[in-house]
């Protein structure tokens, strides 16, 4: 019996090998299943995401409104309630933040949608005038080149005939338009439910955070918890500052564009301001996405206004890039533009518009984590952490630092060390 026990104990060294072998086999089987059942798995994931859409909307709205709730709580506690009840203070703050959010959203929709619809209707009614302008432009600038003028006129005629045939193909598109309308209604419904969810999240945010932390601490080791909570804290701060600042920045740019285009009498100034304001949310490429279609529209309707509009947009974007945006989204350690562009390409290719919006804050978090990890490793190797040091040749970087020469006996004797009485002496005259 003793021999059997010793034999069983000696076999324990193989348990780890067996465990890893079973793990590798299980992971491999799951990967094979995922590859061959990818359509079914992706459809299931999409269905789950659709079901949880109100929760995601609620988390996003709560994330954006949380800074406003914190500001209202501080102001209320400082000026109106010196010792308020915590639940009462939270309820008042959340209610005021929600009312402000609804008021801003409804106000923008009330102002923008009618003017936006009028601009679209005006463009549709002026299609015939647009064709006449195109023909006039062709005759005016291409009269010296009849062959090129005939080619351009042919293209204009083809475009006109295609537009006329569009009405014949309109009937089959009705079902798609209706389905799209129903999809938009579904998005609005999810948004409304998400707004309700956001209120509950804001009211009990400390409790939800504590429950998540409790579950995580109970499941993982201390070192894992420290790393995860550090990354989450950094991510929440970075994403919150960026998204909140970017939304405020885009709103202000849209308002400035509206009044600037109105003063310059730019045609369809409401439509142009909406495009510039919305696309400004996308970093770096957003101004181009909004300005280029606007310039094309102005050129087709009133070409003389195109140059003033380009100059105005250039000045507006310079003001935004160098003054307004740094104040709202500034940070002490800016990420190099190259890595920002790489992040935009990667996230935009993977997640489309949402990826373009989240690429910059994600890049900030990843950049800070990699930078901190790199500096820690360099310090352990007694190597410089400043980037400027790495402009040198690699041999100079690894070259040991020269030690300071030892002081001679004469130099040591020449050093005057003050006594305690000299250090503590106080000038009576002072």
Please tell me the total count of domains within the chain.
Answer: 1
Q: 303 lies in a domain? A: no
Q: 79 lies in a domain? A: yes
Q: 73 lies in a domain? A: yes
Q: 74 lies in a domain? A: yes
3-state SS of the chain: helix, strand, coil percent to 5? 85, 0, 15
187-214 tens-digit pLDDT: 788 888 989 999 999 998 889 889 989 9
Which pLDDT band holds residue 133 (cuts at 50, 70, 90)? low
Q: 192 lies in a domain? A: no
208-262 tens-digit pLDDT: 889 989 998 898 888 888 888 888 888 888 888 888 888 888 889 988 998 998 9
Q: 84 lies in a domain? A: yes
pLDDT for res 312: 92
Residue 98: give the domain boundaries: 60-125
Alpha-carbon 162 to chain mean position = 40
Distant-in-sequence, close-in-space partners of 90: CB < 8 Å, separation ≥ 6? 69, 73, 202, 203
Which residue's entry shows tokens 């100034």?
A: 269
Q: 109 lies in a domain? A: yes
Identify the CA nearest to 97 among candidates 190, 186, 198: 198
Q: Which of 110-124, 324-338, 412-426 has the highest mean pLDDT?
A: 324-338
CA 346 to CA 48: how far, in whole Å?
25
pLDDT for res 129: 63
Q: 88 lies in a domain? A: yes
């Amino acid at each position: 019996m003793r021999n059997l026990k010793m034999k069983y104990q000696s076999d324990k060294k193989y348990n780890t090998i067996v465990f890893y072998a079973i793990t590798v086999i299980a992971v491999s089987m799951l990967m094979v299943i995922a590859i061959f059942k990818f359509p079914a798995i992706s459809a299931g994931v999409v269905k789950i995401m659709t079901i949880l859409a109100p929760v995601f909307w609620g988390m996003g709205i709560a994330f954006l409104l949380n800074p406003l709730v914190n500001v209202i709580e501080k102001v209320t506690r400082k000026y109106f309630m010196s010792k308020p009840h915590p639940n009462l203070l939270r309820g008042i703050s959340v209610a005021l933040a929600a009312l402000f959010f609804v008021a801003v959203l409804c106000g923008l929709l009330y102002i923008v949608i009618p003017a936006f619809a009028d601009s679209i209707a005006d463009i549709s009614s002026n299609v015939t005038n647009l064709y006449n302008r195109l023909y006039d432009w062709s005759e005016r600038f291409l009269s010296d080149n009849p062959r090129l003028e005939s080619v351009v006129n042919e293209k204009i005629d083809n475009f006109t005939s295609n537009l006329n045939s569009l009405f014949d193909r309109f009937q089959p598109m009705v079902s798609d338009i209706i389905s799209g309308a129903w999809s938009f209604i579904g998005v609005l419904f999810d948004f409304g439910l998400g707004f309700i969810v956001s209120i509950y999240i804001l009211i009990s945010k400390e409790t939800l955070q504590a429950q998540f932390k409790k579950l995580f601490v109970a499941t993982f080791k201390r070192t894992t918890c420290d790393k995860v909570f550090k990354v989450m804290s950094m991510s929440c701060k970075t994403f919150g500052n960026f998204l909140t600042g970017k939304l405020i920045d885009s709103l202000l740019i849209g308002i400035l564009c509206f009044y600037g285009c109105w003063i310059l009498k730019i045609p369809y100034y409401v439509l142009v301001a909406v495009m510039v304001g919305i696309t400004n949310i996308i970093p770096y490429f957003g101004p181009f996405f909004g300005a280029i279609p606007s310039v094309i529209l102005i050129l087709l309707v009133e070409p003389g206004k195109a140059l003033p509009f380009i100059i105005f947009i250039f000045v507006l974007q310079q003001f935004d890039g160098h003054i307004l945006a740094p104040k709202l989204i500034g940070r002490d350690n800016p990420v190099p533009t190259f890595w920002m562009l790489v992040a935009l390409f990667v996230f935009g290719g993977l997640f489309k518009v949402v990826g373009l919006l989240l690429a910059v804050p994600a890049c900030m978090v990843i950049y800070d984590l990699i930078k901190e990890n790199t500096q820690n490793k360099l310090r352990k190797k007694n190597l410089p952490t400043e980037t400027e040091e790495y402009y040198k040749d690699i041999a100079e970087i690894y070259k040991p630092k020269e030690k300071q020469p030892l002081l001679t006996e004469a130099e040591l004797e020449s050093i005057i060390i003050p006594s305690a009485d000299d250090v503590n002496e106080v000038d009576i005259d002072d």
